[in-house]
Amino acid sequence: MIRKYVEKDIDSVLDIWLEVSIQAHDFVAADFWQSQLDNMRNVYLPMSESYVYEVDSKIVGFYSLYENLLAAIFVSSDYQGKGIGKQLINDAKKHRSSLTLSVFKENDASHRFYVSQGFEVVTEQVDVHTGQAEYTMRLVK
């Protein structure tokens, strides 16, 4: 079930974000992601419109929108490959008429997933925080 994020969800969401960020971005030092926890807690999540995915009252995924940017979408590693990411993307599409996102170029699995969900690469740039190449993608209607 997908529902609107509420403040009491913060620890579950941050746990998923950190776990999956480290796992999916092994080309970025784990301590970088750990150093971003306070920003996620105090800046990014409060600024965003977020939704969580629950299985048996346990949060197993979430996504965050900031204006028309899909700023985050994460599914706990134990629940990946079960269609939850697709459901989260489809829910995000209901909330915005256009969507963009950024994905690290080296994160091939996520890039392929976004292409399969109707996104295309529009630019390539370097992420200022990590120095890694990334794509900006947009939803094709």
For residue 67, what are its two tokens? 């204006």
Digitized pLDDT (tens) for each residue of the chain, 141 residues in all: 999 999 999 999 999 999 999 999 999 999 999 999 999 999 999 999 999 999 999 999 999 999 999 999 999 999 999 999 999 999 999 999 999 999 999 999 999 999 999 999 999 999 999 999 999 999 997
Per CATH, the number for 2-139 is 3.40.630.30
Burial class (CB in 10 A: 0-12, 13-18, 19+), 38: exposed
User: For residue 65, which of 33, 41, 94, 104 has the smallest C-alpha distance?
Assistant: 94
Any idea where the domains of the chain sit in the sequence? 2-139
What pTM, to 2 d.p., does this model score? 0.94
